[in-house]
Copies of this chain bind each other. A is one copy, B any other.
């Protein structure tokens, strides 16, 4: 996907919403739990996608939720991806990263699936672990920079030569991306509002994928003020499990619309 195609979605829908497709079998609406597990999750994902598509510019299936289903997980994901139109970005939230030849296998495994436009990648192993993903033309890498979870405090703020680790990650990887044919963005949690302006300065032109709003407690205002319009704001649980009843799709639609209306408060389209 070309950056202009993503921007076109953002402007035409007036939205930064990325919906996290993380179907937890235990949290499925009761009416779906009685079905065959794979069919229940596929139906759930389809209905969530249909309900949120007017507001969503991207979908982000987290691979952990599909892998935990065992052998059916692969086809559940395939069927889910079929429901997403090609002009809407699909981000494989897989947080991969390994030595060069192995990252190349992961890149193939992820980007060969029809419809996948982007992958999240972990930076710890450095350049040769990231380049195989960045070498795919018009595919995207969202590299973990400053994550939304409490554990972000453990290593990501360690300071070397007056720069915290996540700044090293952003600056070095922007150098690498010049050698690739893909596009490089960064994961930055909304749980770090005081750091967001600095991140935009470090990567003025990059898209940011921002988790942490909703269930994790991050706020939308500083994210949009400093990162828009090149930002994707991920919301998962808050939309997916807005209702555990038969009205889960309507409830998801309402929740997505509420978030979408929030965008208008902070961004002047």
Chain A residues in the interface with B (C-beta under 8 A): 22, 24, 62, 64-65, 67-68, 70-71, 73-75, 78, 93, 95-100, 102-103, 105-106, 108-109, 112, 122-130, 144, 147-156, 158-160, 165, 168-169, 172, 211, 216
Contacts and interface: CB of A to CB of B under 8 A. Distances in A.
A156 B103 CA distance: 18
Contacts of A75: 71
B127 A150 contact: yes
A100 B144 contact: no
Given A129-B151, A159-B160, A102 B62 contact: yes
A145 B253 CA distance: 44
A129 to B, nearest CB: 5
Given A102-B62, A105-B67, A168 B155 contact: yes
Contacts of A126: 147, 149-156
A65 to B, nearest CB: 6
Contacts of A125: 95, 122, 144, 147, 149, 151-152
Given A64-B96, A125-B149, A165-B165, 18 more contacts: A22-B102, A62-B102, A64-B103, A65-B102, A67-B105, A70-B74, A71-B74, A71-B75, A95-B97, A123-B154, A124-B147, A124-B155, A125-B152, A126-B151, A129-B149, A155-B172, A160-B160, A160-B165
A225 B98 CA distance: 27
A93 B97 CA distance: 11
A98 B112 CA distance: 23
A96 B120 CA distance: 12
A66 to B, nearest CB: 9
Nearest to A147: B125
